[in-house]
A and B are shown apart, each in its own frame.
Chain A
């Protein structure tokens, strides 16, 4: 089966750094995405990793280790507006097509 695990909730302080982990057990792995979703709104794309290593994009970085089935999203210089859910999604190739499988999301609360 396909399984993606992320912590349900995290809290952090404004200005700090937080790391959100994601582990996956999937077949046909073909890339990993991170999306941000504010409550009641659409998910928005943050990052994409297909090879091992770190991808940096401003305050956000994402890391992938395919051999360990592990990724993390690193958020630096946290701001109140970063309070949101962060969705880890694995792209899998199965049955002749690609599809995204989403984790349940990690709800991050940033407090002053």
Chain B
């Protein structure tokens, strides 16, 4: 158990809908990272927040957005969902901002039908 929690574990929704994924980092970690992992691609970095501020951006679509709240938990919002958005979404956390050792949560499996 990494200490990172994610909810929900599974999510099934229809195309065009919007969903919110939630992540709580390990106690004491200030950075939260979001990754997408689909079958045909490896782990893709989406976005990083550090202490409430956006720190780094990867291959995040404009339909996706994220935020980190004062209690350091983070939410990833996915809207206008398409079939290709079906994937495992992982959250990771680390102490600092420098993307050093990251601890991954158990993931949310999103299925878009």
Contact = CB atoms under 8 A, between A and B. Distances in A.
A51 to B, nearest CB: 15
B84 interface: no
B42 A99 contact: no
Contact of A101 (B45, B105, B107): B45
B56 A42 contact: no
B56 A105 contact: no
Interface stretch (B14-22, B64-72, B94-102): B94-102
Contacts of A42: 2, 4, 90, 104-107
B58 interface: yes
A12 interface: no
A41 B42 CA distance: 14
A102 B101 contact: no
Contacts of A44: 2, 104
Contacts of A16: none
B43 interface: yes
Nearest to A33: B101
A104 B42 contact: yes
Contact of B99 (A41, A87, A91): A91
A98 interface: yes
7 closest A-B pairs by beta carbon, nearest first, are A42-B104, A98-B99, A102-B43, A104-B42, A97-B56, A102-B42, A98-B98
27 contacts: A31-B100, A33-B101, A40-B109, A41-B106, A42-B2, A42-B4, A42-B106, A42-B107, A44-B2, A44-B104, A45-B101, A87-B42, A87-B43, A89-B43, A91-B100, A98-B97, A99-B45, A99-B48, A99-B56, A99-B58, A99-B99, A100-B102, A101-B45, A102-B42, A102-B44, A102-B45, A104-B41
